[in-house]
Amino acid sequence: MQKKVVQKKSSRKPSAQKKQRADEHKYAASNKLPERFLVSDLCDLLGQYMAQDQVREVYRAYLFGAQAHEGQLRVSGEPYIYHPVAVARILAQMHMDVKSITASILHDVLEDTPATRKLIATEFGEDIAMMVDGVSKLMNIKFKNKIEQQAENIQKVLLAMAQDIRVIMIKLADRLHNMRTLKALRPDKRRRIAQETLDIYIPIANRLGMNSIRHELEDLVFLAMYPNRYAVLEHAVNQASGNRKEVIEKINHALAARLVELSIEAQLISRKKHLYSIYNKMRSKHLSFNQVLDVYAFRVLVNSVDECYRVLGVVHNLFKPIPGRFKDYIAIPKGNGYQSLHTALYGPHGIPMELQVRTREMNRFAESGIAAHWLYKSPDEKGAIDAHARARDWLTGILEMQQSAGNSIEFLENVKVDLFHDEVYVYTPEGDIVKLPRHATPVDFAYAVHTDIGNHCVAAKLDHSFAPLNTPLHSGQTVEVVTSPNSRPNAAWLNYVVTVKARSNIRSFLKNMQADEAMSQGRRLLERCLKPLGLRLDDVPESNIQLALEDYGFHKLPQLLEDVGMGNRPPSIVVRRLVPERIADGHSEETCEMKSRSPLAISGTEGMVVSYARCCRPIPGDQIVANLSKGRGIVIHRQSCKNLGSRSKRNDKYIEVQWANDAAGEFSSDIRLEVENKPGVLARTATILSEAGVDIENVEMQDRDGFSISLLYQIKVRDRTHLAKLMRRLRRIPSVMRIIRL
């Protein structure tokens, strides 16, 4: 992105507008700049689809911007106002509305001039002020590094986009013009801006279906990052295109003649692949230039969907199709709404060629994407409405990411993961289609259907057969999720989920789980202490609670409960502050303290948050020991756990504890079954556990030697006796060769 160079600042009156335009023409003539930079050219373009009063409003914004940017030059040496006018022209070519054009002319005013948001709102309205503010960078905040600054700025743009999607369209046009004029910057800066464009803005353009902008940005990125490779490839493409002109004409003639015979009105376009696409295919598939360029690209535009499929039949009769290369994006559109039929064929002399068939309406939306919402507003242009709705759905997901992300860097990484993916299409048991990224798992599917289904997922069936939760999904599969009300997300899921919704929800749940457990523990401790006084926490007057919160420096009761549950504040002291009149009436604090020490699940852990180690999964009946852990309270391990190491070396970190006599509840335990590799063995073992009333938290299947497999179950049991009974029942299955507790 080019920076401004400030020569001088001086006051300027709107009456000097004629001199400003004369200077522009003089500068353009002397420097051989194209006319597109001039405001007169912009106004002529706007006049083709806008009312004159709207054009005058845009020109008023130009005068405001020209005065604000007076004396500022870009690094290339041209007046700075040329950049906003060029950005406005890019949007005008997409027939964007008057507010978008106005905001694009003013988009750098807040960032680079003394003008304020309030002034822009007063002059041009709140909508335009919001868009300008959304595009502007955060300039008055100190950041630790460039990565944090980039993350915060992109987060700001995306959240502003959620309010008005035109913000990102202005930002894309701004980035496109900056990339067009990138040559004036230092090589290292060119590469950094190009990389940011490749990571963020190109995927966003793709998600919004704006393919014309995406393709140009890709080629400009290629030029900035690898100028020598770009030059070599460009020369080779130009040379090859001339040599193959005869073959292209032969294909065009054959297609056109056949379509005329069938009375199909069609437009044939032979197109040249853009350079970045060729380079990317060469690099990813390890192909030579000749291998890639041997695939010719043609596009056929027709009037209806029915004609699309008729044309497909025609070309498959004329030329032999290449197996496995047909894709129907009309029946199942891409995530950004793109629709077309894609096929690959052997052309004359056996040369491969690619063919796309789509309607003219589909072609407009393929090029303009979300911009078609403003460009085509007739009732018949439903595709634009659909594109806008899809963009809104995506923006809703962006807001969910922002709410669950810990910071701006995590948010940016989530956005990158969400933007880069190929899609698979799977079915619910009811036959509904669910789109997921490539390598998605049943856990991703569960969260895509509903967050609660994901949070309570315990197993999955693929095409009516049980499969591990980490199994990658493939298009066409039917996915059924098995849930349990007592299950919750597993940290191990983060190792294989790929969707941002699944990842952010799992992280959020695990992050909040400790706080929730601490609050529950704090409430239990206070309730036990209040019981001898004949009270419950709900009986304490609200005024007393507010006074206690003020004394302890908290704003809400859950904060106090969490503090008590973490062991930071004795419950007896808190109760004394909550109901001082009851303590004064003769209820001794000592009695309250003794009552609060009634056994919990683990004896000796009262007043502390207790968690159970995932490495050894202790359950009642095991010999246990507690390990002090900062921020987690105490963590219960089995005494035989290898992760404890030598306890004699760190005695200060261990506490001797034992299970309470009345310990109740369900505890996680891991078991491994080595079974014969026979059909139905997974379903049989799962059925035994289900019939015993056991909740299956997770199941994984590992192939051993082809003749046997390992089934890893994470289940909920009451104690060692309960687990032993389950293992005995599983051993009775003929296919089970061995069963052990992990």
As annotated, the active-site residues are 111-112
**DSSP 3-state percent helix, strand, coil across the chain (nearest 5):** 55, 15, 30
Close Cβ partners of 226 (under 8 Å, ≥ 6 residues apart): 279
N-terminal to C-terminal alpha carbon distance within the chain: 56
Please name the residue that has the structure tokens 């669950």.
Answer: 404
Close Cβ partners of 372 (under 8 Å, ≥ 6 residues apart): 364, 365, 381, 383, 384, 387
Q: Are 101 and 76 in contact (CB under 8 A)?
A: no
User: What DSSP character marks residue 423?
Assistant: E
Phi first, then psi, for residue 122 (nearest 5°) are -65, -40
Torsion of CA 698, 703, 709, 712, to 10 degrees: -20
Q: Are 600 and 609 in contact (CB under 8 A)?
A: no
CA angle 536, 539, 543 (to 5 degrees): 130
Cα–Cα distances in Å, from 599 out to 529, 596, 624, 633, 667?
Answer: 13, 9, 16, 17, 17
Q: What's the rounded Cα separation, in Å, for the pair 486 and 309?
A: 50
Alpha helices in 566-643 (DSSP H): 571-578, 580-584, 589-596
Run of H or E including 411: helix 408-419
Phi first, then psi, for residue 738 (nearest 5°) are -160, 145
Q: Are 202 and 211 in contact (CB under 8 A)?
A: no
Tokens representing residue 160 in the block: 């502003």
Run of H or E including 503: helix 500-530
Strand partners, 479: 462
User: Among 335, 387, 398, 503, which Cα is nearest to 157's?
Assistant: 398
Which of 156-180 are b and which e, b meaning 16 or more Cβ less than 10 Å from the residue's Cβ? bbbbbbbebbbbbbbbbbbbbbbbe
Q: What's the rounded Cα separation, in Å, for the pair 624 and 617?
A: 10
Query: What's CA 490's distance to the chain center, in Å?
Result: 20
DSSP-assigned letters across all residues of 278-336: HHHHHHHHT--HHHHHTSEEEEEEESSHHHHHHHHHHHHHHSEEPTT--EETTTS--TT
Q: Are 356 and 298 in contact (CB under 8 A)?
A: yes
Please name the residue that has the structure tokens 């200077």.
Answer: 23
Q: What's the rounded Cα separation, in Å, for the pair 647 and 624?
A: 13
